[in-house]
């Protein structure tokens, strides 16, 4: 058992956002999380004025994407606690919020976590997208397929402008992970920002034979966020 896993067991449980002892996401912080308000774009899940199949925020390849909450209020602190605070125990709690807010993928789909590059994986010690995918797979009764790999490891995307994110993500992912590419692939990640990462992952999966690629994330950064 690694140090982070040992700390998860030894440290008293507390809310990942406010630190209140008890649940991984306390009741107050859970109630402060805001789901995207309908109508939503049928392609990327963005909030839109009227229902549409695709909106200006859509990027190609994805058949549909959904997010549980807006990346505001307690959401950034929860994601930071999982990723930077190495609170692995938060992954099932965030997955439970996704299950409560997002329709499940279609029957026969497999959940494909967005992979980390080798350097980032060594630094963090785990892939938060894989932890989320595993928890979602248990809740939804779906398999998890590690079907992608990082073909190129760039700088961290957090804080980068949208144009830079697009350049950094282009061609960064490829098929050839530990598992075969599933025909119905639903990508899993923690935060949907511009959609550049998900779009490139979807491109790689479609190019390797996936018939349909969707995505589900815990949070979505609002426009201008």
Strand, coil or helix: what is 144?
strand
In contact, 157 and 169? CB cutoff 8 Å: yes
Contacts for 57 with CB less than 8 Å, ≥ 6 apart: 41, 44, 46, 195, 223
Which regions of 100-182 does DSSP assign to beta strands (E)? Answer: 110-113, 148-150, 173-175
CB-side exposure of 61: number of CA atoms within 13 Å? Answer: 22
Q: Which domains does the chain have, with CATH numbers?
A: 3-220 (3.40.50)
Determine what percent of the chain is predicted with pLDDT higher than 90.
70
Structure tokens at 115: 């992979």
* Dihedral sign of CA atoms 37, 38, 39, 45 in order: positive
Q: What pLDDT, in 10s, does the model give residues 44-53?
A: 999 999 989 9
This prediction's pTM: 0.88
Predicted confidence at residue 4, as pLDDT, reads 52
Predicted confidence at residue 7, as pLDDT, reads 54
Predicted confidence at residue 97, as pLDDT, reads 98
In contact, 139 and 94? CB cutoff 8 Å: no
Contacts for 60 with CB less than 8 Å, ≥ 6 apart: 199, 202, 203
Flag residues of the chain having pLDDT under 70: 1-11, 153-169, 224-225
């Amino acid at each position: 058992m690694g140090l982070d896993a040992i700390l998860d067991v030894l440290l008293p449980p507390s809310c990942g956002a406010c630190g209140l002892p008890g649940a991984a996401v306390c009741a107050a912080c859970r109630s402060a999380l805001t789901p995207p308000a309908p109508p939503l774009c049928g392609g990327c899940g963005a909030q839109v004025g009227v229902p549409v199949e695709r909106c200006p925020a859509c990027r190609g390849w994805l058949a549909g994407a959904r997010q549980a909450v807006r990346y505001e209020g307690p959401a950034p602190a929860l994601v930071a606690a999982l990723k930077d605070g190495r609170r692995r125990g938060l992954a099932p709690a965030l997955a439970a919020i996704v299950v409560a807010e997002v329709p499940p993928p279609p029957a026969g789909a497999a959940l494909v976590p967005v992979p980390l590059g080798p350097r980032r994986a060594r630094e963090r010690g785990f892939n938060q997208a894989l932890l989320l995918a595993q928890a979602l797979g248990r809740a939804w009764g779906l398999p998890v397929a590690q079907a992608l790999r990082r073909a190129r490891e760039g700088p961290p995307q957090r804080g980068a402008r949208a144009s830079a994110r697009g350049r950094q993500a282009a061609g960064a992912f490829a098929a050839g992970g530990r598992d075969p590419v599933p025909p119905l692939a639903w990508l899993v990640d923690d935060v949907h920002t511009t959609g550049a990462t998900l779009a490139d992952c979807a491109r790689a999966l479609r190019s390797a034979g996936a018939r349909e690629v969707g995505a589900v994330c815990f949070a979505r950064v609002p426009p201008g966020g």
